[in-house]
Amino acid sequence: MAKFVVTPASVAQRDAWAGGAIPEVERVRPGLWSVPVPIPVNPLRYVLVYVLELPDGVAIVDAGWNTDEAYDALVAGLGVAGYTIADVKGVLVTHIHPDHYGLAGRVREMSGAWIALHPADARLVRERYDDDVIDTLVRRERALLARCGVPAATLDELAGASMMIRHVVSMARPDRLVEDGDELGLPGWDLRAVWTPGHSPGHLCFLSPARRLLFSGDHVLAKITPIVAVHPQSGPNPLADYLDSLAAVRKLDVEEVLPAHEYRFMELAGRVDYVMAHHDERLAEVERVVGASDGVTCWAVATRLTWSRPWETIPSYMRRAANNETLAHLAWLEARGRVLRVAGEPDLWRLP
């Protein structure tokens, strides 16, 4: 597949990313700032929080992880733009993942800001982060992994793999539910929500038609493709949702994409085409692996796919993601009749 390389909107930001550094706080446009907020122990290194100036303060898009380091970086970034944390009137969260939502509650505590989230992600908040129900979630993850054929010896380890990051998300409930097409009503901004399920069920992008800017969250990024996986809180066919959501943003008249990671870039449509082609290739690879045996588990398919490094060297929490991502591709192929699921314990997959 021919590589498509996007044009960075800010060479300095791209160079900082490429050099393994944290980019500078930048004025993107009059009244619009980009504030990198560090993420601990994660190859993405930082989330880009966008600060939108309002007549009486600011709104921010995404917040960062709930750590002191992240909070301090956000406060310092607001300072460069000439604001304090008390000036934050609203937090527009693209999706529930901890690097975006984690710090939202603390920002609200310090400023009285409202928090906006799509209802499909708002529903997941309680189940994902409340102690009294978290065991249910781990049990459901374990059952899902067992049906995938994950070896019994590693089931518990894999099922509990993301529990250690829960402390970086504060248990904030959103104040505003934002649906597809909703106008955010921020003075001076014609911001509209675009619902883009796939990476998470309630993922939102925010479009400014007049400025031709798209705040894309994790939906479209310059270099990496976001994980799209089947898990206890996903829909049955998240890859179909994701590809539909890509088609939806491809139609938008956008000059510059403002993602939550890496760096800002141009050429939304070209990047979308590339990501779509990447998934087509992956789907064909999954179909080939299924066709090479007479009934194979999802886990076995995952171990036989090409990853960025050898399977044996992939740590267990990433193996779970790889398995669940493989399952998303199998579910997509199943919906199209290209593979069959023979239900059992574990499920076996074969060609029709």
Q: Which residues bind to Zn ion, rule: CB under 5 A?
A: 97, 99, 218
The continuous run of DSSP H or E covering 248 comes out as helix 238-250
Nearer to Zn ion, 53 or 218 (CB): 218
- For residue 92, the one-letter residue type is L
CB 344 to Zn ion: min, Å: 32
Where helices occur in 26-118 by DSSP H, the ranges are 68-80, 98-101, 104-111
Q: Which is nearer to Zn ion, 91 or 289 (CB)?
A: 91
Kindly tell me which of 258 and 333 has the beta carbon lying closer to Zn ion.
258
User: Residue 262 or residue 347: which is nearer to Zn ion going by CB?
Assistant: 262
Q: Which residue is nearest to Zn ion (CB)?
A: 97
Nearest approach, Cβ of residue 38 and Zn ion (Å): 13
φ, ψ for residue 230, nearest 5 deg: -85, 130
Q: Please say which residue, 26 or 218, places its beta carbon nearer to Zn ion.
A: 218
Dist. CA 255–CA 259, nearest whole Å = 13
Work out the angle at residue 21's Cα, subtended by the Cα atoms of residues 16 and 23, and round it to the nearest 5 degrees: 55
What's the min distance (Å) between Cβ of 143 and Zn ion? 24
* Structure-token pair, residue 67: 């750590």
Q: Retrieve residue 32's tokens.
A: 């619009």
CB of 117 to Zn ion, least distance (A): 13
Q: Are strands 26-29 and 32-38 parallel, antiparallel or unpaired?
A: antiparallel
User: Which CB, 137 or 289, lies closer to Zn ion?
Assistant: 137
Query: Of 230, 172, 165, which Cα lies nearest the Cα of 201?
Result: 230
- Alpha carbon distance 214, 235 (integer Å): 25
| Least distance from Zn ion to the Cβ atom of residue 185, Å | 26
Cβ contacts of 72 within 8 Å, gap of 6 or more: none
* Shortest distance, position 149 Cβ to Zn ion, whole Å: 27
